[in-house]
Structure 1
Amino acid sequence: MVAQFLNMKGVALAMAEFGLADGRAAGRRTPRLVAGVDVEEANAAFEAKEFSLEQMDAAQADWADLAARALEPNAFYEPGFALAAARHFPVSERPRFIVVRARAGRMMGLFPIVAANALTGDGLTRLWLHRQAALATPLVDRDMAPEAIEAFLEWMETHSRSTGVVFSRMPADGRFRLALERAIASAARNVKILESYQRAALLPGGDADELCARAGSKKKLAEMRRQTRRLREMGRLTFECHETPEEIRVAAEEFMVLEASGWKAGRGAFLSEPALATFLRSATRMLARESRCKIQSLRLNGQPIAMAIVLESQGRSYCWKIAFDERLRAQAPGVQLIYEQTKAHLARGDLEFADSCAIANHPLIDKLWPDRIGVCDLAVSLRSRRERDFVASCRRDHARRQVREIAKRAANRVLRRKVS
């Protein structure tokens, strides 16, 4: 549903978060200092510029530095993942990289964008969200996030014909959302929520059995234990976590073979498309060198029967991909793996939360992880465009989403597809 977004409480929190002084509302300029620098003066010196893929490749060190101090982490926009995707996906799916830099040249924001089709599009430019990514939250400096966002929007005013920008798939209550509200409030831009939903997450603390019982029921927990016993009767059952670059290289190949042996073969499995397989190899190896990737496996007599690829960024964990041996469906190896994964996550002392990266109401993960995080798509107007054009664009976006959902449900019923 397309609805006007006006959250005064959120705006107030954003003002407190980013130091907007009360005197400014009354027309008095009260400088806000960050590390001794006047933020408004620094913002005036910000420069947004489009970078090519080759320039982004050359700027990996600056990019990684920005990711380390980003207000809101996003493993899918960090160099190891995003560069692999941009290199190996079709050129038509490659984003435009808009980089915001400060006066001294330091990278302060990264906004990969995809422009709307001039003939068939709805007039909205979107943050890059491809089918292999679960988030599209831009990377912005934690100390000057609203200023970096505004510099990007000002660049869009000058360099595009779009009616607005869609900030796709970002945490609904995250720190970037607050910074975006701060930038919107100061520039009097219009905003509309295009889509919002909740997906499963794992917060720190607690016990795996208690969490599983709370997410499902004690009966479900007893059934899972029975399935574990059945697997142990078949042989030696082990849970392994692969972390070194060499372990990741081998485990990634095992994952692709396991995934291709199931229902995804021919429709989305990494081995079904050479470019996808190359992307996975490249991304996991690059991330492994930075200790930002793990592959966890449940093995029966040494052979993987369930595997998950997990990405890491700033104390957050992303359960990106999972595959399991469908010949053992009755013993639910995927459920067994997530249970072991839950115990491993809870044993850590550095985890802010684990994101399932799943769709809403996922039939597997929702029964194991009771906590939820909100995810949303927000459209922000560009001030130089007519307001009615922005509203019309949002309506077309809403209609497109409805048609896509109806078509997806119909196809799943006809082809008896499983939810993924």
Structure 2
Amino acid sequence: MNDASTMLRRAASRGAAAEAIEPGQAIFVDSPPLDAHKMLERLSLQRSYRIYDAHAALGLVDELQFLMARAVEPNVFFEPRFLVPAMPRLDERAVRLLVARDEGADRSRLRFFMPFTVERPSLRTGPILRAWSHPFGPVGTLPLDGDDPLRTARDLLLSLRDQRDLPRTLVLPDLRLDGPLTAVLRKAVAAEGLSIAVCDRRTRAALRPGQPLPARQRRERDRLLRRLALFGPVRFEEAREPDAVREGLEEFLALEASGWKGRRRTALAQDRYRAAFAREAVNGLAERGQARVFTLWVGEDAAASLVVLESGGEAAAWKTAYDERFAAAGPGAIVLSLAAERLMADPAIRLADSCAVPDHAAANRLWRSRTEVGTLVIGLEPGRERATSDCAQALTDLRRRLHRRHRWLGRLRRTLRLG
């Protein structure tokens, strides 16, 4: 039994908890069951790496907000007003927080933040250290300080390598493969002589300034608007003030529950934990001017709704829903088109991510740019090329199995409904 294991057991016997952490300590948590802390410190020029229980995020809100403002790449899904409500309500796994900070006698500065889980994707591969991801946060870009990010990334890889009780493979899902964070990580991996693989590559519809909606698409939208106007007077609203966003979100939740997601019992409003998360996250972001709700009205009825979240000049089309009574007039496509024009007219927005699946017909047609997303798999020791490749393949196989299962369940639901 090594010294670290001995320390872990002694800490567990004393009932050690995250609240007992003192400033300057570097905390690592053992692999599952992850029910106690052990003390292991690595300092590089007064840089420390610590691992906390997930609830410690409540005490990091201000620091994380400051880090997000300095990050090499923005991501609204790691804004504390989104992340903190999400963690306790969306996942039953043991999520932990990896934190890197620079500390001196009179200051402490957060440099990197990563929620993670320890998983085993396949019986033929070992355990992995996986950055936390979930269906409600389709961008996995992690907050890395833009001040000397390469040094921080290299120190991170060395720290994880030296911690023998953690898995030897790091998995970072849903990164923008053409983004600054991926570029920094690739350089850090190369500098340390480690192996890297990419899996789950896909493209998503996006918007960038200087890409107006083509005339053909505008004519098609005008045709759909005329068809929609047969049901009643049509108007388009954009909610940006906190009270207006709150009202718009409630309209969205009701609209989503009235459609096919309601029939499948997957609408946000039908799960009290997910509904509470959505309200706290969206309304919290709205208080900082980081949320909008676009609503297309027919008379007094909401025909379609789109919730957009923002951070650092990037917008994410988070959730959309439409009233199926107006389906023939394409209200979902109309709201995507009108929202696209509003977003591109805002000089503060330099990228809008549709967050849509790769084969989303309306998003691909109306949002003309593309962004590439994928999963990075990094071997944390030199000479692990084969293990890294095997892990990437196992993750690809797992995703395919889940996709086939999802399609099979969809066909089963349709069959039962028709029967």
Query: How would you bin the TM-score normalised by the shorter chain?
Result: 0.7 to 0.9
Pair 1:397–1:332, CA change in 2 (3 A): same
CA distance in 2, matches of 1:412, 1:153: 41
Aligned pairs, number: 367
Tell me the amino acid that sits aligned with residue 324 of structure 1.
Y
Aligned to 2:202: 197
**Secondary structure of the equivalent of 1:364?**
helix
Calculate percent identity across the aligned residue pairs.
28
Could you tell me which of 121, 128, 148 is aligned with 1:124? 128
Given residue 111 of structure 2, which amino acid in structure 1 is its aligned partner?
Answer: M
Task: Supply the AA of the counterpart residue of 2:406.
Answer: K
Map of 2:86 onto structure 1: 85
Residue range with higher mean Cα deviation, 139-148 or 403-412: 403-412
- Tell me the distance in 1 between the aligned counterparts of 2:256 and 2:363: 18
How far is the alpha carbon of 1:387 from its aligned partner?
A: 4.9
Q: 5+ unaligned residues in a row in structure 2: which ranges?
A: 1-42
CA shift for structure 1 position 234: 2.7
Residue in structure 2 matched with residue 329 of structure 1 by the alignment: 327
* 1:372 aligned residue (370, 378, 388): 370
1:407 matched to 2:408? The reply is no
Give 3-state SS (helix, strand or coil) of 2:279's partner.
Answer: helix
Aligned residue number for residue 148 of structure 1: 152
Does the Cα contact within 8 Å between 1:97 and 1:110 map onto a contact in 2?
yes
The residue type paired with residue 166 of structure 1 is V
Deviation at 1:308, TM superposition (A): 0.8
Amino acid at match of 1:333: P
What secondary structure, in the 3-state scheme, does the structure 2 residue paired with 1:170 have?
Answer: strand
2:119 is paired with a residue whose SS is coil
SS at match of 1:204: coil
CA displacement, residues 224-247 of structure 1 (integer Å, 9 cap, x when unaligned): 322201222332211111122222
User: AA paired with 2:93?
Assistant: E
1:98 aligns to what SS in structure 2?
A: strand
Please show how residues 7-86 of structure 1 align to structure 2 within 5 Å: 44-86=45-87
Q: Show the counterpart of 1:229.
A: 226
Give SS of 2:352's match: strand
Query: How much is the aligned-residue C-alpha RMSD, in angstroms?
Result: 2.2
Conserved in 1, the CA contact under 8 Å of 2:208 and 2:351?
yes
Assess if the C-alpha contact under 8 Å between 1:100 and 1:108 holds in 2: yes
Corresponding residue for residue 261 of structure 1: 258
> 1:267-291, CA deviations, whole angstroms, 9 ceiling, x for partnerless residues?
4210121111111111011111111
In structure 2, give the amino acid aligned to 1:106.
R
* Partner Cα distance (2:267, 2:149) in 1: 37
CA separation in 1, counterparts of 2:296 and 2:236?
5
CA contact (8 A) 1:85 1:279 kept: yes
Asked whether the equivalents of residues 97 and 111 of structure 1 are also in contact (C-alpha less than 8 Å), the reply is: yes
* Runs of 4+ deviating beyond 6 Å: none
Which amino acid letter does the alignment assign opposite residue 102 of structure 1?
A: D
Residue matched to 2:191: 186
- Following the alignment from structure 1 to structure 2, what is the Cα–Cα distance between the partners of residues 366 and 94? 36
Q: Deviations over 1:155-211 (max 9, x none)?
A: 333064313111111111110011101211111110011121111001112433x1x
Distance apart, 1:154 and its partner CA: 3.0
Partner Cα distance (1:416, 1:145) in 2: 50
**Structure 2 Cα separation of the partners of residues 370 and 119 of structure 1:** 37
Aligned amino acid, residue 150 of structure 2:
P
Native 8 Å contact 2:211 2:368 kept in 1:
no
Cα distance change, pair 160–263 in 1 and its aligned pair in 2 (3 A): farther
The letter of the residue matching 1:261 is S
Give the one of 369, 381, 388 matched to 2:379: 381
Secondary structure at 1:306's aligned position in 2?
Answer: strand
Aligned counterpart for 1:108 among listed residues 107, 111, 121? 111
1:20 aligned residue = none
Partner of 1:166: 171
CA distance in 2, matches of 1:342, 1:397: 34
Higher relative contact order (CA 8 A, sep 6+): 1
Deviates more, 1:142-151 or 1:128-137: 142-151
Contact kept? 1:163, 1:385, Cα under 8 Å: no
- Which residue of 2 is the match for residue 96 of structure 1? 96
Which whole-Å CA distance do the structure 1 matches of 2:386 and 2:317 have between them?
40
State the alpha-carbon separation in 2 of the partners of residues 180 and 118 from structure 1: 23
1:368/1:416 CA distance change after superposition, 3 Å: farther
1:194 counterpart SS class: strand
- TM-score normalised per structure 1: 0.82
Q: Quick one: distance in 2 between partners of 1:167 and 1:389? A: 16
1:405 alignment partner, SS class: helix
The residue number in structure 2 matching 1:311 is 309
Q: Report the equivalent of 2:16.
A: none
Q: Deviations over 1:112-166 (max 9, x none)?
A: 1121149967522211111111111110011222222233333333064313111
Whether contact under 8 Å (1:86, 1:94) holds in the other structure is no
Other-structure match for 1:280: 278
Find the aligned partners of 1:99 and 1:181 in 2 and give their Cα distance: 20
Whole-angstrom CA distance in 1 between matches of 2:46 and 2:237: 50
